């Protein structure tokens, strides 16, 4: 088995990504992610010294628009598609758990 | 049982409708009838919006009766990939996490198409969140290839490609992040275009990898694809990455021929492709030579690293983009004891295996301790790929390669091995990393009597030359001498 990603690391990233995995999934994903990361090793050996990273194909600068009021999405229509809403707002379960 | 408009191209239909030789309603009904009879076997559509289509068609006929301009796509049926939001019409991304969601707005491209007189017949199937190369990752079941129902249509715009190839519609919109328009176009024997990044608004295209995603046309011929691109291209204040340059006329350049154009075959993308695909590439090159272009081999060394860079960059962007599916504002919520449990439960139930795989891969590539080694490195390789293309385009106007290394494979053949599936995109990915345009043109049949696609690549905003070369290849291409599953 490859050492490019461990089962422990897979559990860690799943937690960061707010995903829950079964034990079987932990093993499957560890193997699959390792195979993909192993393939990516071909670029690890490349000499990229002096190259700037490209985050985007366009050379973007800030885009401004005049500060004019424009209509936004219809609140009722948006909330009608929410899992739960109350008094014109999204309704969610409690945000804070018990004090640790 | 097919109506007289079925099988006609978009340009032809628009002309017939405008000259009142056929009504938009008839065209719509004839195409809807075909869908109704045969799409249960193909599964190219997730939803057919019959009533809305008929009422749109009636409006177009009324406009024409009054002598008003009905638009470039007057009465032309079109299918929309189901990652383009449509106001009041379910938009799912083929994911359980968005099942039943009715967006409160429509994508700019959707508005542009209807503004030009196009008649949307519905939403097409895709790999969940456009992540895949076979449409097998749809949580609503796979789409099949209309030339052989045992085989995949490619992906992720597999529903759009299959619907166009099967003559259910003359046009469809797809999205292309690493080849998701071109590869299914190749596997289904049609034309598919990934425009220059920024040519088409992404407003209302559900984001997968924002620096790579681009909406584009699928059609049965080059001219129809150019027509649809002309309709959807242009600056949109709602997408700050959309280019402000004026939109050129893509349709009129098509018959300009290829006399004097310099065409380079990308050496690195020729090795390892299926034998008949390689032969088709050579034949298409010979045809371009006979039509007056000069064709030579050219090395574009960094494209060999495209796949590795892409499968770090695209998942990294996806992991960030897909963080918004948290069960709060739209889509699936699986309620937990608190907010965090709700996030985990909703996302775990709502996302399929491939989406989870990519989210985790991207989260890993961006995580503390690995960022520089993976994501940072991949971004530098992206710079290298752009440089490699730039050098090639100093000598050549357009480049040529196969679109996909093989013809359509059987359902299930690559499902268990994600990496082998990823390799389907090896020829198409470098274009997205560079932000350049590229398109696939059908070129007869290859292995297993399935269609082959030739990819024509151009530098940023080089669509005119790309379409000229594509049209020249099309002029001389062997036909797809095979019947569709329903013929």
Residue B153 falls inside a structural domain: yes
Report if residue B81 sits inside a domain.
yes
Mean pLDDT calculated for residue range B222-244: 95
Mutation target vs A (from B178, B237, B361; most A CBs, 10 A cutoff): B361
Residue B106 corresponds to which tokens in the numbers above?
A: 């429509």
CB of B415 less than 8 A from some CB of A? no
- The mean per-residue pLDDT over the stretch B303-312 comes to 96
pLDDT, residue B415, reads: 86
- Give the pLDDT confidence score for residue B55 in this predicted structure: 98
Closest Cα in chain A, distance from residue B338 (Å): 5
Nearest to B403 by CA among B288, B266, B217, B300: B266
pLDDT, tens digit, 9 for 90 and up, residues B250-287 = 999 999 999 999 999 999 999 889 999 999 999 999 99
Range scoring the smallest mean pLDDT among B97-111, B411-425, B454-468: B411-425
Tell whether the model's pLDDT for residue B340 goes beyond 90: yes
Task: Name the H helices within chain A.
Answer: 7-16, 23-39, 41-44, 75-79
Mean pLDDT of chain B: 96
Distance to chain A for B210, nearest Cα, Å: 9
pLDDT tens-place string over residues B143-198: 999 999 999 999 999 999 999 999 999 999 999 999 999 999 999 999 999 999 99
Question: What stretch of H or E contains A90?
Answer: strand A89-90
DSSP, residue by residue, B165-221:
HTTS-SEEEEEESSSTTHHHHHHHTSEEEEPPTTSB--TTBPPSSTTT-EEEEEESS
The reply to whether B420 falls in a domain is: yes
CB-count exposure of residue B82 (10 Å: 0-12, 13-18, 19+): buried
**Using the beta-carbon criterion (under 8 Å), do B363 and A16 form an inter-chain contact?**
yes
| Predicted confidence (pLDDT) per residue in A6-21, tens digit | 999 999 999 999 999 9
Q: Is the pLDDT of residue A96 over 90?
A: no
Judge whether residue B23 has pLDDT over 90: yes
pLDDT 10s digits, A36-68: 999 998 999 899 999 999 998 887 778 888 899
Average pLDDT of the residues in B121-132: 98
Token representation of residue B430: 């470098």
The answer, yes or no, to whether residue B2 has pLDDT greater than 70, is no
Residue B86 carries which DSSP code?
A: B
Contact B357 A33 (CB under 8 A): yes
The CATH number linked to B157 is 3.90.1300.10
Domain count, chain B: 1
B134: containing domain:
10-302+387-475
The yes-or-no verdict on residue B17 having pLDDT over 50 is: yes
At A95, list the tokens: 């945000």
What pLDDT shows up at residue B1?
46
Touching B: A residues 25-44, CB under 8 Å: 29, 32-33, 35-37, 39-44
Which residue's structure tokens are 């082998």? B420
Q: Report d(CA B472, CA B398) in Å as an integer.
A: 13
Q: How far is CA A20 from CA A16, A75, B331, B357, B396, in A?
A: 10, 33, 19, 12, 50
As a whole number of angstroms, the distance between CA B310 and CA B384 comes to 13
In tens, the pLDDT along B470-482 reads 999 999 999 999 9
How far apart are alpha carbons B402 and B452 in whole angstroms?
8
Q: Where are the domains of chain A?
A: 7-44
Is B360 a member of any domain?
no
> What percentage of chain B has pLDDT greater than the value 70?
99
**Which CATH code for domain A7-44?**
1.10.20.60
The mean pLDDT value for B216-220 works out to 98
Determine how many CB atoms are found less than 10 A away from the CB of residue B424. 24
State the pLDDT at residue A65: 85
Per-residue pLDDT tens over the stretch B409-453: 999 999 888 888 999 999 999 999 999 999 999 999 999 999 999
pLDDT of B246 higher than 70:
no
Domain membership flag for residue B323:
no
In a domain, B46, yes or no: yes
């Amino acid at each position: 088995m490859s050492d490019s990603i461990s089962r422990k690391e897979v559990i860690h990233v799943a937690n960061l990504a707010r995903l829950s995995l079964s034990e079987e999934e932990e093993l499957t994903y560890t193997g699959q992610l390792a195979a993909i990361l192993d393939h990516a090793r071909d670029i690890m050996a490349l000499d990229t010294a002096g190259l700037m990273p490209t985050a985007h194909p366009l050379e973007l600068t800030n885009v401004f628009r005049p500060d004019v009021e424009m209509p936004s999405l219809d609140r009722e229509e948006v909330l009608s598609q929410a899992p739960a809403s109350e008094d014109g707002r999204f309704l969610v379960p409690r945000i804070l758990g018990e004090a640790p | 049982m097919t109506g007289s408009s079925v099988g006609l191209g978009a340009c032809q239909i628009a002309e017939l409708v405008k000259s009142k030789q056929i009504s938009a309603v008839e065209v719509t009904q004839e195409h809807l009838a075909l869908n109704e009879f045969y799409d249960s076997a193909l599964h190219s559509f997730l939803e057919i919006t019959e009533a809305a289509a008929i009422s749109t068609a009636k409006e177009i006929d009324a406009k024409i009766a009054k002598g008003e301009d009905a638009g470039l796509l007057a009465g032309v049926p079109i299918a929309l990939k189901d990652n383009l939001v449509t106001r009041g019409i379910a938009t799912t991304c083929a994911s359980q996490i968005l099942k039943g969601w009715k967006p409160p707005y429509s994508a700019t491209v959707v508005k542009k198409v209807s503004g030009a007189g196009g008649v949307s017949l519905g939403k097409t199937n895709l790999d969940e969140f456009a992540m895949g190369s076979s449409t097998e990752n749809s949580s609503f079941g796979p789409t099949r290839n209309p030339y052989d129902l045992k085989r995949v249509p490619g992906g992720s715009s597999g529903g759009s490609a299959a619907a166009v190839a099967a003559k259910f519609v003359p046009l469809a919109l797809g999205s292309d992040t690493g080849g998701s328009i071109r590869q299914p176009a190749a596997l289904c024997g049609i034309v598919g275009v990934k425009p220059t990044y920024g040519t088409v608004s992404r407003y209302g295209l559900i984001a997968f990898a924002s620096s790579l995603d681009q909406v584009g046309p699928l059609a049965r011929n080059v001219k129809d694809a150019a027509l649809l691109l002309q309709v959807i291209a242009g600056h949109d204040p709602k997408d700050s990455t959309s280019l402000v340059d004026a939109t050129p006329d893509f349709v009129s350049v098509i018959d300009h021929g290829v006399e004097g154009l310099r065409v380079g075959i990308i050496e690195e993308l020729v090795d390892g492709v299926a034998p008949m695909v390689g032969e088709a590439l050579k034949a298409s090159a010979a045809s371009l030579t006979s039509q007056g272009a000069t064709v030579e081999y050219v090395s574009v060394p960094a494209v060999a690293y495209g796949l590795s860079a892409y499968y770090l960059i695209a998942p990294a962007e996806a992991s960030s983009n897909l963080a918004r599916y948290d069960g709060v504002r739209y889509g699936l919520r699986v309620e937990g004891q608190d907010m965090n449990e709700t996030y985990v439960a909703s996302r775990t139930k709502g996302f399929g295996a491939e989406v989870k795989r990519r989210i985790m891969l991207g989260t890993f590539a961006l995580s503390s301790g690995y960022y520089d080694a993976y994501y940072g490195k991949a971004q530098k390789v992206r710079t290298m790929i752009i440089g490699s293309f730039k050098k090639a385009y100093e000598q050549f106007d357009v480049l040529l390669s196969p679109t996909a290394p093989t013809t359509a494979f059987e359902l299930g053949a690559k499902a268990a091995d994600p990496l082998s599936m990823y390799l389907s995109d090896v020829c198409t990915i470098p274009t997205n990393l560079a932000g350049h345009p590229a398109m696939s043109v059908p070129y007869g049949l290859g292995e297993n009597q399935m269609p082959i696609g030739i990819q024509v690549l151009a530098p940023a905003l080089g669509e005119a030359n790309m379409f000229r070369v594509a049209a020249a290849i099309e002029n001389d291409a062997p036909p797809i001498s095979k019947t569709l599953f329903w013929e």
